Chains A and B, each alone.
Chain A
Amino acid sequence: MSEQLLEIEDLEVSFATEDGVLRAVSGVSFTVSRGETVAIVGESGSGKSVTVMTLMGLTRSPNARFAGTARLNGVDLISASEDKLEAIRGKEIAMIFQDPISALSPVHRVGAQIAEQIRAHEKISKAAALDRAIELMGRVGIPNARARARSYPHEFSGGMRQRVMIAMALSLSPSVLIADEPTTALDVTIQAQILDEIRQLTAESDTGVIFVTHDLGVVADIADRVLVMYAGRLVEQGTVDEIFYDPQHPYTWGLLGSVPRVDLEPPRRLPAIPGAPPSLVRPPEGCPFQPRCPHAFDRCRELPPLAPRLPDAGHLDRCWLTPDDKRVLRETGGRIGLTEGAAS
């Protein structure tokens, strides 16, 4: 295992709101090593975006509370001071956002925006920074970059804008790149190009990547390891193959089950996980997935720990069912999914 780039220990993030304290992330721990791509999946509201945003220090506000640590090259990002973080952001850890349309400043030229990131960390002239920006734009596949650098974001297509974001993020070859659903807003064909772009650039510089998404297709395509989050907690963690072929947590089954399969004839109604994510202000006792889990039983009133329950220590899950029960219960209609009948 290459040495750990980023270690996150018991990350807690909660916000004080009018209705009470909202616990967005409770006790999340994971690591990212050099050259490795870790995917975080889960429904919206599961805390995945909050987790990565907290790493970048972008969730700090008067009514936010943090706990736990996130060490990157020896620095704890959670407790770091604002100016310390400013030196790290964009240089050692960079981020690409979901909606390229609104993520770029509408009133600045594209080239200048990239150059701005470079000059924020290196003392070089505007012209030199612009040249590097243009060179970067070329590398991420933007045609005649020198001319296009002078135009504004609204003159670019969604895909092109995401390429600018990538160029910007990787301009100082950071050790960790966070991609927060970068392809969700794009159509499928562009999505594939962007994923290739990211994979190829991060492979070259051995960057550790955290890829947040709710699209399992993307996970399969790009991720080495997968973390499944639900209601602010990690419910399952393992390699791509373990998660896709030997999922342990019913919520993971549900996710896998709701992906339409090309190889099977289409079901009458797309399977979906019943119910809605629980309130994070007054979370239910025990296992958070319990209210929606068809296999819930009395033991689930007590929160199961995230622990390895299989021979491979890397594969952790948070469910009391025995591995054997799990293998039986996840089979439904010839594929892995949440048992259809029982839940209705």
Chain B
Amino acid sequence: MALDSPEGGAAGIIVSAAPSDLSPEGRQPAAIGPWQLALRRLRRNYVTLFFLALLVILVLMCLLAPVYSAHIAGVGPNTNNITGTVSVNGTQQNIVSLSGVPIGPTWGAHYLLGADTNGRDLAVRLLYGGRTSLLIGAVATAVIMILGTLVGLLAGYFRGVVDFILRPLMELIWSFPVVILGVALGTALALGGIGPVKGNSLFIPAFIIGVVYVPYLGKPIRGEVLRLREQDFIDAARVQGMGPWRIMFSEILPNVSTTIIVFLPLILANSILLEAYLSFLGAGVQAPNASWGTLISDGLTYIQTTPTYSLIPGAMLVLTVLSVNVVGDGVRDALDPRAQVRVRN
């Protein structure tokens, strides 16, 4: 498209009109979707990556518990060996002394972190305990994800009677003293179990934590759904003849997915913590199974002579929960549109 310059003046100038390709630097950066942006930010965030790696290592260690117990320690998590002995740099030592004091860490293959009162290998119990804690945390989180989202969706979308029932219910559970409710339920169910589920199955603590933390996700999602419900694209969907269920799951759910993803790590971290609380108070994982909470609790008696008994499972618990929290933070910052642009000058 030539430009015929007006009367005389400078020589006729042929200029391509499209401004954008005039000079390469002038172009705007190619637009990228929120997910790629988030991923790009995440890759940049070294702290998050470090803790992500740490989390993976911790989880792997716990998953490899059977390998460690079979090939290295040679004993199961519950094998008592009270009257046995173990060789510590040459000399045979009682695993449990005559007066009942268990041996401290030998830093060798057998009884790496020492024994507990029943002569069980603490390192093996630590890994199996980790598996239990992570399993309960994961199952509880799954329960919360499903129940929480469902309750949030139903209460937010249907409002009216449904909301009238669900909201005060969430309010009740939310204001109920979590520990008391959890411990009371735990103690009660550990005795009788529910229906087919036996008293000491791991699903009881997981179920309790799940129920207790539903409002943690339910309330924010309900808020989001209430807000989204008013937006035009929902009316548009309704006009197209979509039923309420389809609207909820195909329209609203994707929009609250960022909230869910942001809350996922928070809930996982808190579920693991609450399991530790319950087990610490004797209402979570039941004997002879172990979890980090029970190990810390058992170790308190010997904190004076062998602090590692309590503090190592404590450290594992804190590192795991910390990693989940940091990764959660990283994910939230990456996804959060108002992310503080961290400038490296």
- B-contacting residues of A (Cβ < 8 Å)? 16-19, 62-63, 275, 278-279, 282-285, 290-292, 294-299, 321-322, 324-325, 328-329, 342-343
Contact = CB atoms under 8 A, between A and B. Distances in A.
Contacts of A284: 22-23, 25-26
B10 A325 contact: yes
A290 B26 CA distance: 11
Contacts of B17: 343
B19 to A, nearest CB: 3
A16 B341 CA distance: 11
Q: Which 6 A-B pairs have the closest CB atoms?
A: A291-B19, A297-B13, A282-B25, A284-B26, A325-B9, A63-B343
Nearest to A286: B23
B240 interface: no
Nearest to A18: B341
B36 interface: no
Nearest to B20: A291
B344 to A, nearest CB: 9
Contact of B26 (A17, A291, A297, A324): A291
Contact of B15 (A16, A19, A282, A297): A297
A329 B9 CA distance: 11
Interface string B1-33: 001011101100101010110110110110000
Contacts of A296: 13, 15
B23 to A, nearest CB: 5
Interface of B: 3, 5-7, 9-10, 13, 15, 17, 19-20, 22-23, 25-26, 28-29, 341, 343, 345
A296 B16 CA distance: 10
B2 to A, nearest CB: 10
B7 A63 contact: no
Contacts, number: 52
Contacts of A324: 9
B3 A294 contact: yes
A291 B22 contact: yes
A297 B345 contact: no
Contact of A279 (B13, B28, B341): B28
A275 B13 contact: no
Nearest to A295: B5
Nearest to B24: A282
Contacts of A283: 25
30 contacts: A16-B345, A17-B343, A18-B341, A19-B29, A62-B343, A63-B343, A275-B19, A278-B26, A279-B26, A282-B25, A282-B26, A283-B25, A284-B25, A284-B26, A291-B20, A291-B22, A292-B19, A294-B3, A295-B5, A296-B13, A297-B5, A297-B13, A297-B15, A299-B10, A321-B9, A321-B10, A324-B9, A328-B6, A328-B9, A342-B3
A63 B25 contact: no
Nearest to A65: B345
A16 B343 contact: yes
B125 to A, nearest CB: 48
Nearest to B23: A284
Contacts of B10: 297, 299, 321, 325
A279 B24 CA distance: 12
Given A19-B29, A322-B9, 14 more contacts: A16-B343, A17-B343, A62-B345, A279-B26, A282-B26, A284-B23, A291-B19, A294-B3, A297-B10, A297-B13, A299-B10, A325-B9, A328-B7, A343-B17
